[in-house]
């Protein structure tokens, strides 16, 4: 490594440390303010709480039925992840293992999907959901989020394409059909990548704001990001509840990342192995 490369590596590392420090500081600020009253936050914004005050969390669950929004987000997350896993793994397996006329075009098609946000097509999507009578239901959000499989397909296609043909041939010789070969042999081998995909996509689905905002109109179907925005509309009077709601929204994903961070790295490394 020459001096220029060493300097650039040092700059990048420094920027990453600065970004991490800012992000961590915001997280800490949000957590300790969630245990403070609105008056305390306004009078001393950066002061530490004198005692552990759980009234904000109590108000969320007792007065605002926060558990309902939490349950809605969980239902959308679980069903979406199941569909994303099934659709992306089967699609990637078909593209990676089989040779067909438009194989290259199909790979490019999913690659292009990474470049264009779904918001660009929100009008026809809304009209489609309206014609299917799915407006104001979890099904509309789940279907749209489950269709966003470009990134999972991109990650899995090369993995399946670079698996040795001997594995596939041995399965066929042993009498395993196409479906059995996939779910008994090929899919288990891709579990590290699938695990990483589930964690990465869980963040996107859990924090999804735009689709629930457009398609979920009734209070009974709304998700956590929507209720947080409700508190931020009048931040001076509800900043304590906004902080507490943000903490509750962050905790599940944060726990998943802390526990399974090694699996994420393992999946990314596995996806990058060629041959």
**pLDDT tens for each residue of 227-255:** 998 888 877 778 888 899 999 998 888 88
Give the model's confidence band at 74: pLDDT under 50 very low, under 70 low, under 90 confident, else very high: very high
Give the model's confidence band at 267: pLDDT under 50 very low, under 70 low, under 90 confident, else very high: low
pLDDT at 3 over 80: no
Instruction: Confirm whether 32 is domain-assigned.
Output: no
pLDDT at 36 over 50: yes
Domain of 134 in residue numbering reads as 60-271
Looking at residues 21-27, what average pLDDT do you find?
88
**What digits encode the pLDDT tens for the residues 87-137?**
999 999 999 888 888 888 888 888 888 888 888 889 999 999 999 999 999
Angstrom distance (rounded) from CA 191 to CA 173: 24
pLDDT of residue 81: 94
Instruction: Confirm whether 40 is domain-assigned.
Output: no
pLDDT of residue 205: 94
Number of domains in the chain: 1
SS3 content of the chain, % helix, strand, coil (to 5): 80, 0, 20
Instruction: Confirm whether 193 is domain-assigned.
Output: yes
pLDDT of residue 268: 57
Instruction: Confirm whether 65 is domain-assigned.
Output: yes
Give the model's confidence band at 274: pLDDT under 50 very low, under 70 low, under 90 confident, else very high: very low
Instruction: For residue 50, give the DSSP letter.
Output: S
Give the model's confidence band at 270: pLDDT under 50 very low, under 70 low, under 90 confident, else very high: low
- Residue that has been written with the tokens 């508190």 in this structure: 231
Instruction: Confirm whether 68 is domain-assigned.
Output: yes
* Nearest C-alpha neighbor of 69 from the set 201, 245, 198: 245
Q: What is the CATH number of the domain that holds 232?
A: 1.10.3720.10
Looking at residues 21-35, what average pLDDT do you find?
88
* Nearest C-alpha neighbor of 141 from the set 49, 226, 215: 215
pLDDT of residue 108: 87
pLDDT above 90 as % of the chain:
34
pLDDT of residue 62: 86
Question: Can you list the positions of beta strands (E) in 146-206?
Answer: none
Looking at residues 167-189, what average pLDDT do you find?
84
pLDDT of residue 208: 93
CA distances from 226 to 208, 211, 219 (A): 9, 10, 10
Instruction: Confirm whether 149 is domain-assigned.
Output: yes
Instruction: For residue 147, give the DSSP letter.
Output: T
Instruction: Confirm whether 9 is domain-assigned.
Output: no
Give the model's confidence band at 4: pLDDT under 50 very low, under 70 low, under 90 confident, else very high: low
pLDDT above 70 as % of the chain:
93
Q: Report residue 254 as tokens.
A: 């944060």
pLDDT of residue 275: 43
**Global pTM value:** 0.85
Estimate to the nearest angstrom the gap between the alpha carbon of 79 and the chain centroid: 13
Angstrom distance (rounded) from CA 5 to CA 16: 16
Give the model's confidence band at 179: pLDDT under 50 very low, under 70 low, under 90 confident, else very high: confident
Instruction: Confirm whether 120 is domain-assigned.
Output: yes
**What digits encode the pLDDT tens for the residues 128-157?**
999 999 999 999 999 999 998 999 999 899
Q: Higher pLDDT residue, 57 or 173?
A: 57
């Amino acid at each position: 490594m020459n001096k220029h490369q060493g300097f650039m590596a040092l700059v990048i590392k420094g920027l990453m440390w600065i970004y991490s420090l800012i992000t961590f500081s915001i997280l800490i600020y949000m957590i300790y303010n969630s245990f403070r009253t609105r008056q305390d936050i306004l009078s001393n914004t950066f002061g530490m709480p004198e005692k552990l005050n759980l009234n904000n969390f109590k108000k969320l669950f007792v007065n605002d039925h926060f558990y309902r929004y939490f349950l809605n987000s969980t239902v959308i997350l679980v069903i979406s992840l199941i569909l994303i896993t099934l659709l992306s793994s089967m699609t990637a397996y078909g593209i990676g293992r089989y040779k067909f006329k438009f194989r290259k075009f199909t790979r490019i098609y999913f690659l292009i999907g990474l470049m264009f946000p779904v918001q660009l097509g929100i009008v026809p999507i809304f009209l489609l959901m309206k014609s299917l009578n799915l407006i104001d239901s979890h099904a509309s959000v789940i279907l749209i989020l489950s269709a966003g499989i470009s990134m999972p397909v991109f990650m899995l296609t090369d993995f399946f394409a670079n698996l040795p043909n001997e594995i596939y041939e041995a399965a066929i010789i042993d009498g395993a059909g196409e479906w059995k070969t996939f779910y008994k042999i090929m899919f288990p081998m891709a579990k590290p990548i699938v695990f990483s995909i589930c964690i990465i996509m869980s963040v996107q689905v859990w924090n999804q704001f735009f689709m629930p905002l457009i398609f979920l109109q009734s209070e009974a179907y709304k998700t956590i990001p929507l209720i947080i925005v409700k508190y931020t509309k009048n931040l001076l009077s509800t900043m304590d509840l906004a902080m507490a709601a943000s903490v509750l929204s962050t905790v599940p994903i944060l726990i998943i990342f802390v526990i399974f961070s090694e699996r994420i790295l393992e999946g990314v490394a596995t996806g990058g192995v060629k041959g």
